[in-house]
Every structure is written in structure tokens, then in C-alpha cells.
Structure 1
């Protein structure tokens, strides 16, 4: 039986005769677009099912509760976090969005994790489970899951985040939530009161949105002036790095912090899902998402990570803080402004490369800084440009493909190549005024 036709308001005013041609066109449009929408929906669901079937099935056995039909799932990896309750209570205190929210805590431990950390995980899991069972909050569900003896080769925050997010896709697939949203958070964070509503509003306003990036401000515990000074320097560096990338002409200049983004389920599957790197998984994943476009910054959806040391990952906030405090003057050293200006010159040539012959490209490269030129040839710049030309009918496509090759990972390789020679590192206090 057909669903009742809902005419637009302008066609159902009292005593307003409906033009037969207008009514006919309305029926024709509905008859065309409704089957098309159903077909696209089924295609998306099939793609998600294929994605889930490709994942290690041993991690897909612990499902989120089927009694809940979540629109938004907050994924929190957790390893040896006795203060997780601060994060959970911060989320519970949030303004409630017009959506069903599920908070998934992924308690995880690898084969070689210390016994004390495993025991703390079990305590955290049991405490969170008790809270989940007693929770009586409309529109909010808490779900802790426990994973132990994860393989040494992959165990870490990347795998934990991936498990939680893959399970979110499984949940959205089961409940046919094509517009589901996955929020990435960490177990040392608190959030602003309108954190959830800001994210939900952004995704509900634009169905094309692939990701949101959230504001952040690290917090410190107790009276620790050195730690406070170090973390403010690190935040200044993140802002500086993003600004310099933007000024250079790089299109995907946003910060890549694991606790400060949300992604649509569609974009998550389209990019192949979260990686299982033991550090930097957020960086690699977000670079793929950025390339899809339709990214929105939500500076008022604030996240407050805890500034602390950490030896779990080789880079990130914890190692950066340690390095700052090991400096004799306790001041962070950063990539120089000159190194970014050289990138600006390179990127200004992209449009010209599209129309140049190989001989012209070689001549154009000769005007660049010799160390940058050396780096470009070591990284097969001519083959890269040839690939861009072969696969690009338009300048827009050429530019996008160029930055697919010369991505943020390659930029960091370049920056490491040119520091400390010929470009010396600069103090963060000098480059930010």
C-alpha cells in the first residue's frame, strides 16, 4: 500500500484550488526520487556490510546493545584509566541532542601489558558496567566492553579505537542508521556542556558533512607551573603548524587529534575505517577523511584533554611535553617559518605544472630552494606529476591528485629533511610573538 502523499503547504491552503499540472509534476517527482533514494540507501548498507565482513571477526562478537537504536556513538579507548568516571560524568552532564546517544568504553589490553594495568582495566570495566546498569537517562546509554590479550603486534590505542568504531558501523547497519555519527574521544577528557548538541546540529543540518573538528584546551592537575607552561606552548605549536600549512596553500591543514573529531558513518566506511597503528592512527585516518571534503570546524564544541606524560605512543602530546621540559630553557623548538615559505613557492607552481612539459617543469623546479629540490627528486616528483597528468582531465582534479601524493605525511618528511640544516628550528615564543 502506498504511503499517503504529503503535499507542500503551498498546495494545501484552504479554498486554494490546485493546478492539475502542478499536482501531476509533484506526483512524477515523488515517483522518480523515492525509488532512487531507496536504491541509494540499500547500496550504502550493502557497502557497510562488505566492510564489516572484511574485519577480524573475533572483535565483532561483542556487539552494542540491540535494544538501543543509537544515532550517535561516542567511542572511548581505555587502558589503565582510574579517572574514567570524570569523562563519563562530563558527557552525562551535556545538553541532550535530539538523538539517541551511546557511549562506548573500549577497555583494552595487549598481551604484554603490565598486570597492574590489566587489573585496573577490569576494575574500570566493572565500575562502568554497574553505572551503565543503574543509568536511567533518556536518550543516553553507556556500554563498556572488555578486550584482553590483544596481539602484541597491533595492541594499542589505534586498534582499540578501530574496534569501537567498527562496532559502531555494525550497530548502524543493524538499525539502518545511514546517517549515523561516530564521535572520537579519549578517556582523559572532559567536554563542554553543548558538546553533543553542537555535533548533532552540524550533522543534521548538512547530510553531506563528512567530519567535524572540535575545539580543545588542555587542563592540568594541581599547581604545576612547568607543566602549565609546557602545555600552552604545545597548544601554540598546534595552532602555528595548522596556520602555516594553510598559508602555504595546503588544503587539508586542520589539526589531527584523536579526541577532537567526529565522522559520519558513510565517510568512515568510504575511507576504509580507522587504522590500527599503535600511535598516530588519528593522523592517518583524518588525512583520508579530509580528502573527501565537507569538513566543518566546531570551535565551541570543546574538549578538555588532561596534560600528562605518556610512554604509550612515540609521538603526540605526552612525548611532546616530555621533550619540552627536557629543553635547557624549557621552550619548545618548532619547524621554521622559512621552511613553510618554501612550500608556498612550490605549491604556487601546481597550476603551471598542469600545462608544462617535462623540460619546463625541470626548469621551474630549479628556482626552488636546493634542499627542497633535492627532497622532491628523492621522492620521485617527476613520476608523481606524470601520474597526476595521466589521471586528470581538469586542473581541479590535477590539484587534488597532487595533494593526494604530496600529503601531510610527505610534508612532515620534508620538514624533517630540511631541519636543522639548512633551516634551523625556531623557538615557539619567537614564531607566535
Structure 2
């Protein structure tokens, strides 16, 4: 029997449609790994084989749910590839026989995703919402895990997740990641550059003291079922669904980093969505050097001073904070006016009792998106983006790290630092 909070979520915000779980008939799982798959017949089964290398005792406790999906207006090649995937799932495969494997057909005529709005966000939501009905809520809070159909995991994947949620007070989690090597030297160079860009941004947020200093990679995130329902479930965005999901999770139930495993997303190029890993790799491979440029340390310095200013001024009026922000940077002041900060701050003050509540309300208002937009505003103005060999060393130094100019050394360092537990 599902808890009232889960029933209420499914009734009010759960997915509505013709989709059903096929395959594994079991229930009472401690968690579910949900894998959206669009034209992934050449990669999905390697993902499943990597999952099958986890301990049998844990595999028996987790439902693995593949959501084979395409929009009604998808290219014929994608639809044909999905038919191959569905046939292979239906026929079974001994290579991953230890999995409690099920799937959702969101690809066959009459079950396809709607044009325009159908994408990875909707596919994840279908999987998560349907998986809720197969979970065991009588003991520990069950776990929902997001994976992709071209991502590989390690044999310690499930054990690390179970251990993490056994100790964590946060409802959400991000998992360390490291992209797979490219199929060619050029592809490897492109994915290394893009991953370094992601890591440089998170490093900058960390040095600034931002509470949003964590990676938002769709194949490397998880949450408890109660937190999922409590924060409103997965959004249905065609792209950046992971960013918005984790941002909302941070605001409501918190996000912490998992330790003890690494997931390995694909490095291949793609044109499915207008931004993100696949599109950036594709642009770099086509010779577009400006596809991935790095933010200047000054952007994060201004961000850090702004966050510190707010912390110092929790008892002040918005006009006072706005005036002092002008002294940090007139470009910061300009951005705050664009965000209507003074009006927003006074509303936060009226609705918050005490400094702790106001601080939390501010960080919910000045969230990951507003943070990113500030960095973009500064980058489009006085601090243009540039090469990692020039811009990352001073940022590394400000974080107390080796200011190496070599991109490979920078990536190796940040992979190690950002996969390690924070100092106590």
C-alpha cells in the first residue's frame, strides 16, 4: 500500500497517459533505476550489462526500468532503432539476466510522446512516476536513480547509492562522473574540453560559496521517493531537465554528493537538443572553437562578494544592499535591477521570520539559474570568456589548488578533487 503522500502526488501531479510497465511483474523494491532510451539500441545493452555487474543481492532489490521513447514526429531512423530495442528487451538477454528488468513502450504508434513537448524530461517522469507503484515504503525511503541509455556504471554503483542514502539527510544526490573516452582522438579532446568547462564552472561556484556548486548531469543524479514526490516530481522539459530538477531538489530537500562510485556518460556528439554535452562536442568537432569557452575568475569573485554581502546584510533594507552591490561592480548592480532585486528582497523579508529563514529564502530566490545568468551577464560585459590555459590557473590558485596551465592536468586534478569527499 502506497503512503498517502505518494498517492496524493500521483493523483495531483503524476503522469497521465497510456504508458504501462512491461516485463518484470515484481514489486516491493528498495529502489528503481530509470533509463530513458531514444535510438539507443547500440548502447543501451552495454549500460544494462554494466548494471548487471553489481552484486546480485542488490540487483534483486532494484527495479531497472527502461523508457523506450520517441515523439510522433521523430525521424524514421529513430523509430526503427526503438523497435529494435523493444524487440531485444522482449526477447531477453542472458548477459543481464540478474536484473529485475522492465520497460515502458513510449515509442509504438499510439504510445508515442507528443510533438514539441515530448523529450527526455517527459521520458524520465514517465519512468519515475510509474516506478513509484513498485516500491516498498514499509522500511527505508526507496531510492529513484536517473541513468541514461549510453552511460556505463561500475560494480560499486548500487552499493554506493544505498550507503549514501542510509547516511544522508538530503533528499537528493549527485554522483561523481567521468565521460567515456571518445572514439577518436579528436572526439576525446572535445569531450575533455567540455567536461573541463563543466568542472571549472562548479569550481568557480564553490570558491564563491554558492550553495549550487554541484554538477547537474542527468545520468548522475538520484533522490529518495519521498523527496521526489514532495518537490513535485520530474519536470517535462525537452532539455536541461536535470538542471531544473536538481535546482528544485536543492531548494526543497537538499542535494549532497555520493562517494564511492563513478558513472561514465557517453562522449558522442549529438544534435538532439540545442545545448548540452552532445551538441557541444558536435560543434567542437566541426571546428567551432568558440563552442566551449571558459569563464573568467572575476565573475566568480564578484559572485562571492555578492553572496557575502547578502550574508552581512540580512537585517538591511533592499536599497542598502543594492547600493553596496554597486560598489562591488556596477555590472552586478545592473543585473540586480534587471532581476528587480529590491522588490524581491523586501518581499522575502516580509515573508521570513528571522535570519535563518531569510537566508534560505534568498538562496531559493537567487538560485542556480539566477547565478548562471549573473555569470553570463558579466561574461557578456567586462569579463569575456576565454581559454582554459589562461583562465583556469588563477581560479585553481584561489581554491588552493595547483595552478597548472595544461588542460589534461587541469581535468585530472578536478576529476580527483570533485569526486572526493569534502574536508570535515
Deviations 1:166-192 (A, max 9, x none): 11122227x656611011000001111
Change (3 A) 1:115 1:326: closer
Distance in 2 (alpha carbons) for counterparts of 1:161 and 1:412: 24
1:237 is aligned to 2:200: no
Map of 1:50 onto structure 2? 8
- Unaligned runs of 5+ residues in structure 2 are 393-404, 406-424
Distance in 2 (alpha carbons) for counterparts of 1:253 and 1:214: 13
The structural deviation recorded for 1:257 is 0.3
Name the SS for the 2:216 alignment partner.
coil
Change (3 A) 1:88 1:344: same
Moved over 6 A (4+): 132-135
Distance in 1 (alpha carbons) for counterparts of 2:297 and 2:80: 47
Change (3 A) 1:86 1:246: same
Distance in 2 (alpha carbons) for counterparts of 1:217 and 1:359: 44
Name the SS for the 1:412 alignment partner.
helix
1:188 is aligned to 2:150: yes
1:227 is aligned to 2:187: yes
Deviations 1:336-366 (A, max 9, x none): 1111111111111112332113443343133
The structural deviation recorded for 1:63 is 6.6
Deviations 1:62-116 (A, max 9, x none): 4774433211110000011122110011101123454611110100010100122
1:108 is aligned to 2:69: yes
**Kept in 1: contact 2:33–2:63 (CA 8 A):** yes
Deviations 1:183-234 (A, max 9, x none): 100000111111111111222344x441222111111353x11111111111
Deviations 1:388-427 (A, max 9, x none): 2112222121111111111111122222222232111121
Change (3 A) 1:348 1:59: farther
Change (3 A) 1:158 1:230: same
Name the SS for the 1:313 alignment partner.
coil
**Kept in 1: contact 2:147–2:218 (CA 8 A):** yes
- Unaligned runs of 5+ residues in structure 1 are 1-41
**Kept in 1: contact 2:54–2:156 (CA 8 A):** yes
Distance in 2 (alpha carbons) for counterparts of 1:67 and 1:359: 59
| Match for residue 135 of structure 2 among 162, 168, 172 | 172
Map of 1:152 onto structure 2? 115
Map of 1:380 onto structure 2? 340
Change (3 A) 1:320 1:299: farther
Map of 2:88 onto structure 1? 127
Distance in 2 (alpha carbons) for counterparts of 1:361 and 1:413: 19
Name the SS for the 1:333 alignment partner.
coil
Change (3 A) 1:82 1:344: same
Map of 2:100 onto structure 1? 141
Change (3 A) 1:304 1:362: closer
1:76 is aligned to 2:35: yes
Distance in 2 (alpha carbons) for counterparts of 1:81 and 1:378: 42
**Kept in 2: contact 1:132–1:141 (CA 8 A):** no
More strand by share: 1
| Match for residue 363 of structure 1 among 300, 306, 323 | 323
Name the SS for the 1:216 alignment partner.
coil
1:86 is aligned to 2:46: yes
Change (3 A) 1:328 1:398: same
**Kept in 2: contact 1:351–1:395 (CA 8 A):** no
Superposition TM-score, scaled by structure 2 size: 0.85
Distance in 1 (alpha carbons) for counterparts of 2:284 and 2:182: 18
Q: Relative to structure 2, which stretch is displaced further, 422-431 or 367-376?
A: 422-431
1:353 is aligned to 2:313: yes
Deviations 1:218-261 (A, max 9, x none): 11353x11111111111211111111111112112100000001
| Match for residue 350 of structure 2 among 390, 400, 405 | 390
Superposition TM-score, scaled by structure 1 size: 0.83
Distance in 2 (alpha carbons) for counterparts of 1:200 and 1:75: 16
Q: CA RMSD in A?
A: 2.3
The structural deviation recorded for 1:292 is 3.4
Map of 1:406 onto structure 2? 366
